[in-house]
Amino acid sequence: MGRVTSRRRVVRLVDDAAVARPDTLAVEEPLEIRVRGRSLAVTMRTPGDDFDLAAGFLVGEGVVRNPSDIASIRYCAGATADGTNTYNVLDVGLAEGVAPPDPSIERNFYTTSSCGLCGKASLDAVRTTATWQVAADPIRLDPKLITEFPTKLRAAQRVFDRTGGLHAAGLFDDRGNLLCLREDVGRHNAVDKVVGWATRGGRLPLTGTVLMVSGRASFELVQKAVMAGIPVLTAVSAPSSLAADLAEEMGLTLVGFLRGTSMNVYTGGHRLGVTVGAR
């Protein structure tokens, strides 16, 4: 298995003083995801929880809905010219009767750690039909409870403490308990790892839960939440306009700029006891 962190010698400048010192960096390596032997995507990720990442990715694309849809996940030996196993290529075997991914969702380029949509054939291909309707989720939350999530998320980020270079995604229940946390150089990967954890554990749909992300809320993160049946998405930073549009369309509660005791509620304010005005 690959390392999560790496050590590198740096020179630290403070005022006029230069001091050589070791520094800890978060590892970033490519992971190729194959389905039934056919390459589907290459994502730049932090090694670890790769099977969860692959499962969550396939949930987001509408390929997988239940743990029984996955027959196997394995690293591919012989992925390099000398036949060694780099643990950077894995193949997902689908159960009999499960349709393979539509060719339109294949990534034509690398999915970078900052953007999970790079290489999509078209935006329409992203709007996958949701299995569960989050608009009907009856969850209600006290805004004060949500303000505790960033602190709880940060306290659980063990690798971030060592590197300062990872995003996090955390899944909370309606009482504020942290159910699962994953870290990665990419926000979308961290979310996939959380969703994959839930998928492989037979926990979908994630009714009555809140997904918290450490950065901004993109269109793809809203899509991933909806596809996993998560009714509430909160983020430390801003959502994009497309993320807010999709959240409104799907009935998802979207909260941004969650910092201290303040937040912006963009959609689905009824779950927090507030009304969001028209644009």
The answer to whether 205 and 132 are in contact (CB under 8 A) is yes
180 vs 169: CA distance, rounded Å:
8
210 vs 213: CA distance, rounded Å:
10
Dihedral sign computed on CA atoms, order 236, 166, 244, 234: negative
**118 a catalytic residue:** no
Tokens of 249: 């369309």
Instruction: Select which of 76, 115, 118, 180 is catalytic.
Output: 115
Neighbours of 238 (CB within 10 A): 15
Spell out the residues 6+ positions from residue 22 whose beta carbon is closer than 8 angstroms to its own. Answer: 7, 8, 9, 10
Neighbours of 279 (CB within 10 A): 8
Active-site residue list: 115
